[in-house]
Amino acid sequence: ESSGNDFGGVLKNLAVTIITLGVACGIGYFIFQYVRRNPDQVKDQLAKVGVSIPEPNAQPADDPAVPAPSFSKPETLAPIVLDPAPTAAPVAAPTGTPRLVRSDGVEFALSPDGNTIGRDFGCTIAWADQSSVSRRHAEIALENGAWIVKDLGSTNGTFVNGAKADTPTRLKPGDTLVLGQVTVRFEA
């Protein structure tokens, strides 16, 4: 019994939809016929509300017709000659205070006595929220007047300027270090 009521409801909705579409089409047809039979009256009414209708086949006065495309041979361009001498990447200016600067601008001061970097809270520089960084990821220390980075057996590696630092690697101001997915710049 309920499926018969559902079918009746569907038929009723379908009938209402068809009638609504028929009325909308009738109104559209009436408007079309009125505009077609009374173009001057429609144009006057539209002009009153600020709408102008261009004359058929009329060219705009200020806009000349589009010129025909030219199929002439394109002019020959002079070759571009690049300077064969490679240029060095810019180096960060010495600041006197050795530090790491993360890509978001956060700075981490470095101690000449040694700095461990990792997720562990016991590290000098602890990034507990960085899962790509190992618990004890790397160490940076001042040795014989040079800053050295050593990977401490991290899972995702330590990279200096894109090269994996498998052995202790000397750092220069401006070097980019990547520890897991964290990028920092060394400044000194």
Side-by-side strand order, sheet with 138-143: 125-126, 115-118, 138-143, 146-151, 169-170
- Name which of 137, 146, 142, 98 is nearest 118 in CA terms: 137
Q: Is 150 helix (H, G, I), strand (E, B) or coil?
A: strand
SS3 27: helix
Number of domains in the chain: 2
- Give the pLDDT mean for 25-50: 87
- pTM here? 0.49
What is the rounded CA–CA span in Å between residue 22 and residue 15?
10
Task: Please say if the pLDDT value at position 81 is more than 60.
Answer: yes
My answer on whether 28 and 106 are in the same domain is no
Q: CATH number of the domain that 177 lies in?
A: 2.60.200.20
CA end-to-end distance (rounded Å), the chain? 86
141 falls within a domain: yes
143 occurs within a structural domain: yes
112 and 43 fall within a common domain: no
**Judgement on whether residues 40 and 103 belong to the same structural domain of the protein:** no
In a domain, 74, yes or no: no
Q: Examine residue 146 and state whether it is found in any structural domain, yes or no.
A: yes
User: How many whole angstroms from its chain centre is CA 119?
Assistant: 30
Is position 130 within any domain?
A: yes
Per the domain annotation, does 90 fall within a domain? Answer: no
User: pLDDT > 90: what percent of the chain?
Assistant: 53
Which residue in the block uniquely carries the two structure tokens 């009638």? 19
Task: Please say which residue of 48, 67, 84 terminates a domain.
Answer: 48
Q: Which helix (H) or strand (E) holds 164?
A: strand 163-164
67 occurs within a structural domain: no
User: 149-167 pLDDT, tens per residue?
Assistant: 999 999 999 999 999 999 9
Residue-level length of the chain: 188
What's residue 103's pLDDT?
A: 85
Helices (H) and strands (E) in the chain, counts: 2, 11
The domain containing residue 17 runs over which residues? 2-48
Query: In angstroms, how far apart are the furthest CA atoms of the chain?
Result: 98
Which pLDDT belongs to residue 178?
95
CB-based contacts of 109, cutoff 8 Å, min separation 6: 97, 98, 99
Do 117 and 44 share a domain, yes or no?
Answer: no
Question: What's the rounded mean pLDDT across residues 13-33?
Answer: 93
Domain closes at, from 48, 64, 81: 48
